[in-house]
Chains A and B, each alone.
Chain A
Amino acid sequence: QVHLVQSGAEVKKPGASVRLSCQVSGKSLTEISMHWVRQAPGKGLEWMGGFDPEEAETIYAQKLQGRVTMTEDTSRDTVYLELSSLTSEDAAIYYCAGDSYNLHYAMDVWGQGTTVIVSS
């Protein structure tokens, strides 16, 4: 069974960057298409970006282009999300999520979430 374990909560000042991690267990990272999804307080789910297996590349939501970078370390089975130039609108719970069975862009496994607070 695949599990995703995310790093702990972060408190950042406006203008700073944040780097979150998500470690995969139960399956090799190379067998899973990983995505990042965030949820602002009281709001819905927002896809930030992820791996498109058909194009074999990581793609990002247009509104975050230039501020978001997703990377991976296959030796550690860990994916990372870096988001720069933080504002109060980036305060949210950030989830890593994966398609571990080639479900055609559905995410069957989710991390526990990481809270990011942006405050001066």
Chain B
Amino acid sequence: SYELTQPPSVSVSPGQTAIITCSADELGDKYASWYQQKPGQSPVLVIYQDVKRPSGIPERFSGSNSGNTATLTISGTQPVDEAEYYCQAWGSSAGGPLIFGGGTKLTVL
């Protein structure tokens, strides 16, 4: 079955750049989205169609998607960015067309 693989955790110091990856076969042929979820809250869309930011999402959030890997980059990471991040894609899958990655816990030390 088609799976999106994310690292379980990423740590970064305030002000540094955080990079979170999402990998799957030919992921670059599909649109990837990214969601931020803080404890006790609903997810928030931060990137859609690989590179686009919804209104209200800070410019320090950016995305890319090529080959087998989609990437969420947070430039100048702030303590408020500490959260779980999930990638998501839509494409053929035995389990269903819409799938989420397992999530990455971003810690801002």
Binding site for B on A (CB under 8 A): 35, 37, 44-47, 49-50, 52, 59-63, 95, 97, 103-108, 110-113
* CB closest chain-A residue, reference B86: A45
How many B residues touch A, CB cutoff 8 Å? 26
Contact B45 A107 (CB under 8 A): yes
In angstroms, Cα B43 to Cα A108, docked, is 9
- Interface contacts (Cβ under 8 Å), in number, total 72
Contact A108 B45 (CB under 8 A): yes
* CB closest chain-A residue, reference B84: A44
Contact B86 A50 (CB under 8 A): no
* CB closest chain-B residue, reference A4: B42
Q: Which residue of A62, A106, A113 contacts B49 across the interface (Cβ within 8 Å)?
A: A106
Binding site for A on B (CB under 8 A): 31, 33, 35, 37, 42-45, 48-49, 52, 54, 84, 86, 88, 90, 94-103
User: A34 CB to closest chain B CB, in angstroms?
Assistant: 12
Contact A59 B96 (CB under 8 A): yes
In the complex, what residues of A have CB within 8 A of residue B97's CB?
Answer: 52, 59, 105
In angstroms, Cα B98 to Cα A62, docked, is 11
In angstroms, Cα B62 to Cα A4, docked, is 26
Beyond A45-B103, A95-B43, A110-B42, is A105–B96 a contact (Cβ under 8 Å)? no
In the complex, what residues of B have CB within 8 A of residue A63's CB?
Answer: 95-96
Q: Which residue of A44, A45, A62, A103 contacts B96 across the interface (Cβ within 8 Å)?
A: A62
Contact A47 B45 (CB under 8 A): no
User: A115 CB to closest chain B CB, in angstroms?
Assistant: 11
User: A97 CB to closest chain B CB, in angstroms?
Assistant: 8
